[in-house]
Amino acid sequence: MADAREVLEMMREVVRTRISMLRDGVTFYEESRRSYYLQEYEDKLRQLDRLIRKASIRLVAGKESSSPEDDAPE
């Protein structure tokens, strides 16, 4: 699960970079397409943030649900 979260965080950074490039005008697209892609990337960023939060909650919840026998030394 931690690997999936790391991948999601990397994807989030790529999307943030792309959003910043679109806002700065670093693109070959005309204004209407640039606005469209900017909106799409912002939507994708919100989706990724939700998925990262869900993965974080699952990781924490998974640790709390372990039984005492799992923590006993062998």
Tens of pLDDT along 9-39? 999 999 999 999 999 999 898 999 999 999 9
Q: How many domains does the chain have?
A: 1
Q: What is the pLDDT of residues 32-69, one digit of tens each?
A: 999 999 999 999 999 999 999 988 887 666 655 555 55
Are 72 and 53 within 8 A, CB to CB? no
Is 16 within a domain? yes
Question: Residue 51 class from Cβ within 10 Å (0-12 exposed, 13-18 middle, 19+ buried)?
Answer: middle
Q: Is residue 50 part of a domain?
A: yes
Note whether residue 68 is domain-resident: no
Q: How many CB atoms lie within 10 A of CB 32?
A: 8
52 found inside a domain: yes
